[in-house]
């Protein structure tokens, strides 16, 4: 295992484990209200204090990691797989299919991503699923573009001609030769994209277009604490700090992964 990559992999692994086992790690029920204990500052019982409904902020941050990370990783998986597949098919096959799909991607790319996502999420209605769908609708284009350009380069290499002469079908060439060879750059792009996606999903939730109350989600939690920034800053700072740490870890992981794959390619 690469020394540069290992610490970030461990940190990302811890974050993912926290998200998976959130139910078992929360000190209190994140949805249980206690109006008498509302807006309690951080103390030895409620380490990060409580929100306006008296819910334990630490428990909600831990539970929010599940919602935020699962939705972000699922979204990333969807757009990277679909985008890469579309791009690789376009790049390898060329012709009318390539032209049509790339013009469609041009149309999506013409809109600012967040503005489009806000409009789409608004049209689809609130909810985490709709917010994820809105981001997926525009997010695949980047992966399609990257995969297409990589597939265009690879398809002109002699080993693709050799595979054709070996009797491998077009689908076989796509899945056995092209997709495995573009996986590295796509993986790095995806790793670098996790942070952006977390922030975009949290942004939609912050605007009230993502997770609906009482779901514990970092963006929605920040939205709830927005009006109390001066009186009870812990309500907004805790999920904000969680987003900051998570985005930083995944960005550093992406950078390290890119460095490792680049040096492998150079060698």
Partner 1 sequence: MAVLEVKHLKKSFGEKVILNDINFEINAGECLGIVGRSGCGKSTMAKIIARFIPADGGEIFLCGQDITNSKNLKSVYKNIQMIFQLPEDSFDPRRTLGWSIAEPLKNYNFKNIDERIKNLLIEVGLTPDFVEKYPREVSGGQCQRAAIARAISVSPKLLICDEATSALDVKTQAQIIKLLRRLCTEKKIAVLFITHDFEILNEISDKILKL
Interface residues with partner 1 (CB under 8 A) are 157-159, 161-168, 172, 176-177, 180-181
Least distance in angstroms from the C-beta of 162 to partner 1: 5
Least distance in angstroms from the C-beta of 258 to partner 1: 18
Least distance in angstroms from the C-beta of 175 to partner 1: 12
Q: Which is nearer to partner 1, 73 or 183 (CB)?
A: 183
Helix axes 128-155 and 113-124, enclosed angle (nearest 10): 140
From first CA to last CA, the distance across the chain in angstroms is 17
Q: Which is nearer to partner 1, 32 or 161 (CB)?
A: 161
Nearest CA among 50, 21, 24, 201 for reference residue 121? 201
Least distance in angstroms from the C-beta of 166 to partner 1: 4
Which residues have a Cβ under 8 Å from the Cβ of 154 and sit 6 or more positions away?
Answer: 91, 160, 177, 178, 181, 182
DSSP codes joined into one string, 219-265: HHHHHHHGGGTTT-THHHHHHHHHHHHHHHHHHHHHHHHHHHHHHHH
Q: Which is nearer to partner 1, 107 or 157 (CB)?
A: 157
Q: Which is nearer to partner 1, 85 or 228 (CB)?
A: 85
Q: Which is nearer to partner 1, 144 or 163 (CB)?
A: 163
Least distance in angstroms from the C-beta of 91 to partner 1: 16
Which residues have a Cβ under 8 Å from the Cβ of 76 and sit 6 or more positions away?
Answer: 190, 193, 194, 197
Q: Which is nearer to partner 1, 33 or 168 (CB)?
A: 168
Least distance in angstroms from the C-beta of 64 to partner 1: 39
CA distance 92 to 12: 34
Q: Report CA-CA distances (Å) from 264 to 2, 10, 36, 158, 267.
A: 11, 21, 59, 21, 5
């Amino acid at each position: 295992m690469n020394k540069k990559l290992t610490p970030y992999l461990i940190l990302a692994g811890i974050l993912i484990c926290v998200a998976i086992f959130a139910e078992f790690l929360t000190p209190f029920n994140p949805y249980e209200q206690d109006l008498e204990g509302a807006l309690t500052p951080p103390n030895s019982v409620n380490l990060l204090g409580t929100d306006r409904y008296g819910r334990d902020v630490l428990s909600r941050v831990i539970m929010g990691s599940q919602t935020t990370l699962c939705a972000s990783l699922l979204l990333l998986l969807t757009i990277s797989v679909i985008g890469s597949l579309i791009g690789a098919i376009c790049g390898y096959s060329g012709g009318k299919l390539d032209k049509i799909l790339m013009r469609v991607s041009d149309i999506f790319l013409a809109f600012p991503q967040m503005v489009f996502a806000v409009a789409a999420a608004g049209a689809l209605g609130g909810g985490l699923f709709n917010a994820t769908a809105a981001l997926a609708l525009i997010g695949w284009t980047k992966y399609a573009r990257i995969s297409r350009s990589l597939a265009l380069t690879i398809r002109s290499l002699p080993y693709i001609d050799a595979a054709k002469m070996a009797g491998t079908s077009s689908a076989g060439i796509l899945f056995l030769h092209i997709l495995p060879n573009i996986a590295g750059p796509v993986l790095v792009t995806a790793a670098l994209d996790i942070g952006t996606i977390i922030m975009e999903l949290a942004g939609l939730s912050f605007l009230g277009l993502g997770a609906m109350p009482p779901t514990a989600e970092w963006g929605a939690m920040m939205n709830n604490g927005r009006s109390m920034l001066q009186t009870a800053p812990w309500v907004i700072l805790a999920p904000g700090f969680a987003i900051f740490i998570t985005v930083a870890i995944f960005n550093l992981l992406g950078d390290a992964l890119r460095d490792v794959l680049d040096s492998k390619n150079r060698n």
